């Protein structure tokens, strides 16, 4: 999902993204996510790199607000920009709250910036974003994608394992239930 959003937004303006993994849960800090967004946004763009060099100070390295202010400075020079953060629910609750609060502050200071957040529906996230975001629930809309993936994977697997035709049919029927149980 996030990769599709990145592809679509790149044709409409600059795009920066951060993917948070469950493996990084203990080390994913709000400031590191903002630093990552800055790095990806300025990478390869001499003008934006100059903004970072001229604007960066100790505060932008050590405090979330300082890093957010640096991102605002870059965004003001970048023009229309899309920020994409995937996996916010994988962060510790306190850190994700800090991250979202800072991203909302950045958005208020950067009118040409749009933010896409991809996450499971966690109560704290919904509470923080309820007045400032449009929530789009997709888990009920991807049943066909899950079904297609399972069918393709099953087809490749049964051929690779050289099951008899009757076994192939039984296995495929059993795996079909996975898509139905996934609830989209």
pLDDT band at 9 (very low <50, low <70, confident <90, very high): very low
* CATH superfamily entry for domain 2-129: P-loop containing nucleotide triphosphate hydrolases (3.40.50.300)
Check residue 102 and give its pLDDT.
92
Q: State the Cα–Cα distance between residues 111 and 116, nearest whole angstrom.
A: 14
Checking if the pLDDT of 109 tops 90, the result is yes
Pairing state between β 81-86 and 113-118: parallel
The 3-state DSSP class for residue 112 equals coil
pLDDT at 2 exceeding the cut of 60: no
Indicate yes or no: pTM above 0.75.
Answer: no
Taking only the tens place, the pLDDT of each residue in 165-182 is 888 888 888 887 777 776
Cβ burial of 72 (10 Å; 0-12, 13-18, 19+) is: middle
For 34-85, the pLDDT digits (tens) are: 888 988 888 888 888 888 777 777 877 888 898 898 888 889 888 898 989 8
Domain map (residue ranges) of the chain: 2-129, 143-181
């Amino acid at each position: 999902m996030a990769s599709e959003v990145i592809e679509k937004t790149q044709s409409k303006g600059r795009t920066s993204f951060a993917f948070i993994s469950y493996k990084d849960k203990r080390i994913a800090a709000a400031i590191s996510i903002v630093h990552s967004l800055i790095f990806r946004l300025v990478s390869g763009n001499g003008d934006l790199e100059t903004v970072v060099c001229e604007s960066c100070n100790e505060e932008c390295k050590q405090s979330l607000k300082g890093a957010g202010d640096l991102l605002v400075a870059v965004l003001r020079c970048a023009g229309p920009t899309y920020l994409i953060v995937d996996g916010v629910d994988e962060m510790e609750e306190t850190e994700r709250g800090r991250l979202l609060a800072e991203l909302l502050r950045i958005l208020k200071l950067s009118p040409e910036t749009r933010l896409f957040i991809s996450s499971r529906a966690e109560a704290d996230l919904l509470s923080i974003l309820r007045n400032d975001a449009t929530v789009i629930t997709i888990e009920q809309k991807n049943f066909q994608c899950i079904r297609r993936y399972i069918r393709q994977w099953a087809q490749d697997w049964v051929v690779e394992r050289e099951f008899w035709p009757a076994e192939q049919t039984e296995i495929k029927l059993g795996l079909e239930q996975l898509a139905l149980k996934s609830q989209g």
